[in-house]
């Protein structure tokens, strides 16, 4: 599941809708504040039994990296990666990795 913060950024609802269209393979849900306001627009990935990831400063330009991340995340048994480069540009936008 991909959670999109809909609180801080004025374009947050637009981003959530764009991500729903651009990433049909994942459930995209708008949620209230995720406390990433200093680096708004935040998104979080969470799946049962896997670590969760929180990314900030996400724009529509990040869709290709988000798609690659989703593919790798789904393929990973626990949501972890041996090498952060798999995250592409998202590795510079990572705010947190939360244990399962």
Give the tens place of pLDDT for each residue, 17-51: 999 999 999 999 999 999 998 998 999 999 999 99
CA 52 to chain centre: 9
CA 85 to chain centre: 16
Domains of the chain, earliest start first: 2-98 (3.40.30)
Mean pLDDT confidence for 79-89: 90
Nearest residue to 53 via CA among 97, 88, 99: 97
Q: How many CB atoms lie within 10 A of CB 91?
A: 15
Residue 9 has pLDDT above 90, yes or no: no
Quick one: tokens of 83?
A: 């090498």
Beta bridge partners of 80: none
């Amino acid at each position: 599941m991909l959670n999109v913060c809909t609180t801080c950024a004025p374009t947050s609802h637009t981003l959530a809708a764009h991500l729903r269209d651009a990433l049909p393979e994942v459930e995209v849900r708008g949620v209230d504040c995720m406390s990433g306001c200093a680096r708004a627009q935040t998104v979080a990935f969470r799946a049962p039994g896997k670590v969760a990831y929180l990314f900030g400063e996400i724009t529509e330009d990040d869709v290709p990296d988000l798609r690659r991340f989703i593919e790798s995340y789904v393929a990973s048994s626990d949501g972890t990666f041996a090498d952060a480069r798999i995250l592409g540009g998202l590795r510079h936008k990572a705010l947190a990795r939360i244990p399962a």
